[in-house]
A = this chain, B = another copy of it.
Amino acid sequence: MITRRAFSFLSRRSVYAWRNQSNDARQRLDISGIYPPIATPFNEREEVDYQKLDHNLTKYAKFPFRGLVVQGSNGEYPYLCVEERVEVVRRVRQALPKHKLLMAGSGCESTRGTIQMSQRMADAGADCVLVVTPCFYRGRMDSQALINHYTKVADSCSVPVVLYSVPANTGIDLPMDAIIQLSQHPNIIGLKDSGGNISRIGLAVQKTRSQGFQVLAGSADFLMAAYAIGAVGGVCALANVLGLQVCELAQLCVSGRWDEARELQYRLIEPNAAVTRQFGVPALKQAMQWFGFEPGVCRWPLQPLCEADLQTVREKFSSNGWL
């Protein structure tokens, strides 16, 4: 298994252990389990508030998460400058127990930017990097362009790469043929799929499992269905708020207690939609506050919710028995 700790006393070239492994022999980093894509707390001047971050990390440490995703879409990463992105990863690594994985979102629009960011995050302690599809020139981002992009990033990165498809933000659903081909790269170990198309998730599992490729659900509202069809975990915004419950749902799925899982899943759909698709990061941060976290404000142009929307979000939690 490629581990984070190995990197500190090895030169970069030599750590690319995967280069020397045969396809059969290689052991991919096990990324199964639940991750909250943590929010980045800001103070009133919109600066990263590391004290609030530490507060939250302490709370998360009590949950049976597999690890944390730093700078997924809910981390407001497009609002952080390069140095902030790296520094947040460094701080989280310091606070995070060694046995917990740190998956760092290192995607940039350009391939060279992504390569640099990925390595800086690896150097800052990330166990693997989560690389979102570039999207500004979406008309040109066909399968071949994306295959080339990810291959180049994975070739040069000292930690494993996880593909990240989040069409609600990017307007791009990573094509299936690209996923299949990229799953054969020894340093590309999985996919976070936030699109939620369940037959697509099933197809991705079917077509890549022989490679040991791992599929993670990108949201809690289809987590049970994703497990049912072969996913091995989830990166779920809702786990920032209802971390225990999302972990429990995963545990019920893994142990085949589908009837209990279904009942729990029902109660997570509406709260999940409220803090993701419907009202976004401002709702997520508000809900975190209700549950004792310290998310701080959002950076502009993200605006706080109006009173009516806040009530709606609150109602989605309370009517399902969480508040």
Contacts and interface: CB of A to CB of B under 8 A. Distances in A.
Contacts of A256: 258
B299 A110 contact: yes
A112 interface: yes
A262 to B, nearest CB: 6
Contacts of A219: 199
Nearest to A209: B266
Contacts of A138: 169
B109 A78 contact: yes
Interface class of chain A by DSSP: helix
Contact of A199 (B140, B222, B300): B222
Contacts of A302: 137, 140, 145
Interface in A286-315: 299-303
A134 B219 CA distance: 24
A127 to B, nearest CB: 25
A33 interface: no
Most buried by B among A141, A146, A197, A225: A225
B277 A139 contact: yes
Interface in A221-244: 221-222, 224-225, 228-230
Contacts of A277: 139
Contacts of A111: 299-301
| Copy total for this chain | 4
Contacts of A280: 137, 139-140
A323 interface: no
Interface residues of A, number: 63
Given A113-B79, A225-B225, A152 B269 contact: no
A81 B115 CA distance: 13
A269 B203 contact: yes
A262 B203 CA distance: 11
Contacts of A272: 199
A196 B205 CA distance: 18
Interface string A121-135: 000000000000010
A303 B144 contact: yes
A17 interface: no
B225 A141 contact: no
A318 interface: no
A110 B78 contact: yes
B82 A81 contact: yes
A273 B139 CA distance: 13
B199 A269 contact: yes
B136 A78 contact: yes
A182 to B, nearest CB: 13
24 contacts: A78-B110, A79-B113, A134-B301, A139-B277, A139-B280, A140-B279, A145-B302, A146-B301, A148-B301, A149-B301, A196-B197, A196-B199, A198-B198, A199-B222, A202-B224, A202-B225, A202-B269, A203-B270, A206-B266, A224-B229, A225-B225, A225-B228, A225-B229, A228-B262
